Amino acid sequence: MHTHYTLTHIKKIHKKLKKHMGWFVGSNRRRGLSWQEQVLESASIPPAPLMVFFGLVILLIFLANYGDYKLQMERTKLGAKLFVVLLPLLLMLLLCLLMVTWRFLTRCSSTSSVARSMSSSNEGGSPLVMLFWVVLLLVMVYYQSYFQASWLRLF
């Protein structure tokens, strides 16, 4: 069965929907307060015993997990201290690997005349690399007491 709706039939259905479900569909004319305003006006604070009950439940959950939280924080602090101690060593290892790779690439590339002229004129290393090492040593000497204190606290 195929039903054919006319425009007047659709308008009647729409009018019925607005009349019975105007709060859901929405209407152009306002009759008093909207449903949001009605909900906000009827909202109130929960009773005091209910608030106390939920407060106690939340407090007990917090206290039950506080020991695990402290243990996890201590593990995290220990891991961070170990990372801070090993970071300078990892940076120096990375720089050495980069320098070895750079030297290997400049020696293997016979087509680059700039690389050959740089490697032949600077056998001792480039001035920027030497400047970096000097700055790194100065920083390590300046923060020597901090590093020693953190190492002694770690172990």
Pick the residue with more confidence: 72 or 33? 72
What share of the chain has pLDDT > 70, as a percent? 70
Tens of pLDDT, residue by residue over 41-88, are 778 888 999 999 999 999 999 888 888 888 899 999 988 888 887 888
What residues contact 51, with CB distance under 8 A and at least 6 apart?
Answer: 45
**Rounded distance, CA 78 to CA 111, Å?**
50
Tens of pLDDT, residue by residue over 86-101, are 888 888 888 888 888 8
10: three-class secondary structure by DSSP = helix
CB 37 within 8 A of CB 45: no
pLDDT at 154: 56
pLDDT surpassing 60 at residue 19: yes
Token pair belonging to 75: 């593990």
115: nearest Cα among 130, 124, 104, 128: 104
**Rounded distance, CA 68 to CA 72, Å?**
6
Q: Where are the domains of the chain?
A: 7-42, 48-154
Q: What is the DSSP letter of 28?
A: S
Q: Please state, rounded to an integer, the average pLDDT across all residues of the chain.
A: 76
**Rounded distance, CA 104 to CA 84, Å?**
31
**Rounded distance, CA 62 to CA 55, Å?**
11
